[in-house]
């Protein structure tokens, strides 16, 4: 640990690490190979209270904060990024929009199950023509009597097609105001006629995470499925993404640490030219650099999480954390794979999986370039 953590934070982190080592890690290879999200592991995470960590007890949460959530995600990311992103997306993209912007009815109907891991929800922002430029949304929703009629598509939506996915909250253009698009967010329950969860993607990594394209063809949902005020959807979703970047940074720091631990162990046990690989200065320097990256990544996300939990501005710190930690994960995965030699290229070793999985950490919830734009804006350059 790098920033002083309270006793209960250390206990939480240790508890999730134990769960990660004993329950999550043993299934990770097979889940990756078969592209299967273990609903058993999801249920166990629910029983441990992980989905409710950053929510108050009166809505069914654990009464913790974002730091607590991120500690859990970091501990899981160390051994299995697919499971870690399932929790990250389930909480910060699935439940958080309902908690922050939902009506009393939406909160009481959905939060108890979302926060217990009995249900999952997706967050549908990205479209084929609207990724980094999320405001380019083309999906539309028009009011017809007391129903929204939704047409369009979304792509790359996490947790949108699991057996327990209840709904996806989507952004849609609901009109225009002052010559600008009015974007709102609307909950679309899975199974609504005209709403299709298309077959899962064949991804480079995160094989056991559930990701689908979604299509909406004249989908009708009640007017009260609007989440938050009409026209506030874009602003609300961007604030959700700012927070989510801290969680992705924590996941990345965990992945970077998992790679470091595996590489240290391997370098000690592998003999090359009559001596342990770990005695070669090249390996020592590589491992030392990996250690420094884990430290820096963790400092960066801890700082952003503390700012967020203190109610202070955190968008720039979150962007720096995601940038730093995403790079740390990718760099450590590459270095760990190199330390492992040919074995690094074999899927049975976790470092190869981290190598495939880590690339998305530089892309999802805002690419590296988008983080740089946020940081450049803070410098007054745009
Ligand atoms: C596995 C996975 C899960 C995902 N889960 C979700 C989800 O649950 N919900 C959701 O809504 N989305 C999700 N996404 C989408 C993800 O957030 C987007 O892929 C990401 O934001 C990038 O958008 P894009 O793919 O359209 O790339 P583009 O925006 O087309 O970017 C292409 C390249 O251009 C660069 N670029 C773009 N604009 C600029 C600029 N102004 N200046 C410099 N460079 C620029 C980008 O950095 C990138 O390198 C997921 C994606 C993946 C792969």
Ligand 1 centre distance from Cα of residue 316 (Å)? 19
The per-residue pLDDT for 109 is 97
Q: What is the pLDDT of residue 2?
A: 56
Alpha-carbon span 96 to 90, nearest angstrom: 9
> Of 244, 272, 292, nearest to 85 (Cα)?
244
What pLDDT does 1 receive? 47
Phi/psi at 201 (5° precision):
-70, 155
370 C-alpha to center of ligand 1: Å?
9
**In terms of pTM, does the model score above 0.95?**
yes
pLDDT of residue 43: 98
CA 252 to chain centre: 10
Tokens read off for 282: 């090249």
Instruction: Report the alpha-carbon distance of residue 316 to residue 19 in Å, rounded.
Output: 32
Do 316 and 374 contact (CB within 8 A), yes or no?
Answer: yes
Residue 8 known to be catalytic: no
Is 124's C-beta closer than 6 angstroms to any atom of ligand 1?
yes
Helix 281-309 with 66-77: angle, nearest 10 deg: 160
How close is the Cα of 364 to the center of ligand 1, in Å? 6
Q: Which residues of the chain have pLDDT under 70?
A: 1-2
Mutation pick for ligand 1 pocket among 92, 156, 165 (CB with most ligand atoms within 8 Å): 156
Q: Are 153 and 65 in contact (CB under 8 A)?
A: no
User: Which atom of ligand 1 sits closest to the CA of residue 158?
Assistant: 8
Nearest alpha carbon, ligand 1 atom 25:
131
Does 206 contact ligand 1 (Cβ within 6 A)? yes
> How far is 41 from 47, CA to CA, in rounded Å?
10
Give, using CA atoms, the residue closest to atom 52 of ligand 1: 156
């Amino acid at each position: 640990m790098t920033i002083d953590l309270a006793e209960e934070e250390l206990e939480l982190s240790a508890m999730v690490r134990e769960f990660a080592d004993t329950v999550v890690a043993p299934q990770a290879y097979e889940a990756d190979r078969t592209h299967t999200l273990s609903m058993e592991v999801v249920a166990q995470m629910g029983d441990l209270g992980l989905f409710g960590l950053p929510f108050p007890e009166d809505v069914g949460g654990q009464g913790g904060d974002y730091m607590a959530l991120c500690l859990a995600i970091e501990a899981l990311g160390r051994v299995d990024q697919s499971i870690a992103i399932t929790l990250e997306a389930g909480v910060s993209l699935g439940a958080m929009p309902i908690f922050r912007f939902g009506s009393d009815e939406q909160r009481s109907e959905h939060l108890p199950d979302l926060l217990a891991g009995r249900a999952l929800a997706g967050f549908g922002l990205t479209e084929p023509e609207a990724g980094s430029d999320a405001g380019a949304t083309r999906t539309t929703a028009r009011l017809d009597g007391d129903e929204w009629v939704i047409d369009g598509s979304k792509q790359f939506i996490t947790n949108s097609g699991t057996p327990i996915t209840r709904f996806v909250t989507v952004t849609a253009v609901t009109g225009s105001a002052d010559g600008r698009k009015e974007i709102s967010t609307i909950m679309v329950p899975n199974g609504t006629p005209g709403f299709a969860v298309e077959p899962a993607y064949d991804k480079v990594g995160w094989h056991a995470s559930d990701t689908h394209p979604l299509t909406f063809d004249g989908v009708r949902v009640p007017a009260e499925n609007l989440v938050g005020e009409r026209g506030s959807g874009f602003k609300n979703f961007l604030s959700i993404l700012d927070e989510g970047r801290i969680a992705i940074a924590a996941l990345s720091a965990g992945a970077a640490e998992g790679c470091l631990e595996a590489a240290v162990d391997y370098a000690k046990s592998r003999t090359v030219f009559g001596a342990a690989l770990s005695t070669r200065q090249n390996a020592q320097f590589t491992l030392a650099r990996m250690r420094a990256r884990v430290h820096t990544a963790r400092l960066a996300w801890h700082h952003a999480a503390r700012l967020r939990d203190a109610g202070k501005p955190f968008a720039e710190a979150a962007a720096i954390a995601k940038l730093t930690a995403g790079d740390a994960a990718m760099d450590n995965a590459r270095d760990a794979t190199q330390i492992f030699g040919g074995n690094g290229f074999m899927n049975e070793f976790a470092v190869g999986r981290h190598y495939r999985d880590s690339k998305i950490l530089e892309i999802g919830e805002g690419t590296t370039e988008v983080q740089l734009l946020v940081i450049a804006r803070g410098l007054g350059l745009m």
